[in-house]
Amino acid sequence: MNPAYLVGLGGALGAVARHAVYERVDNTTDVPRATLAVNVVGSLVLGLATGLGAAGVLGGDALLFVGTGACGAFTTFSTFAFETVDRQTRSTRAAAANAFGTLALALAAAALGFWLATLA
């Protein structure tokens, strides 16, 4: 299949999944939970897919579909950045907690996903 179609199909599924999370998770607190959830879960899935790719379990087409497409559309750096700056106008502490907490959790989730893939 054409790589652009794989990325597009994965992206469509990731965008719909992200929308579903935003419909169900409160994002108006000091820490925007929906954005945190999609970034951490997406990082976990991307780490897992990357690890499975490195192990030869997933091929290039699957990585394009899952990693570039689905995870690319599911996660969001721009919303994370905007929400951090928006919270800074109300509370520097909330903005810092959002920035550092999201980064730490997303990196840990990606590492966990990669590690889990090594067990497969």
Q: What are the domain boundaries of the chain?
A: 3-118
pLDDT at position 54: 96
Q: Which residue has 């966990």 as its token pair?
A: 112
- The predicted structure's pLDDT at residue 89: 85
The pLDDT tens digits of the residues spanning 50-107 come to 999 999 999 999 999 999 999 999 999 999 999 999 888 888 998 999 999 999 999 9
Asked if residue 53 belongs to a known ligand binding site, the reply is no
Confidence at residue 73, expressed as pLDDT on a 0 to 100 scale: 97
Q: How many CA atoms lie within 13 A of 99 on its CB side?
A: 13
Residues listed for the chain: 120
pLDDT at residue 30 tops 80? no
Q: Is the pLDDT of residue 1 over 90?
A: no
**Is 50 among the annotated ligand-binding positions?**
no
pTM for this entry? 0.93
Closest CA to 98 of 19, 28, 7, 3: 28
Which amino acid belongs to residue 75? Answer: T
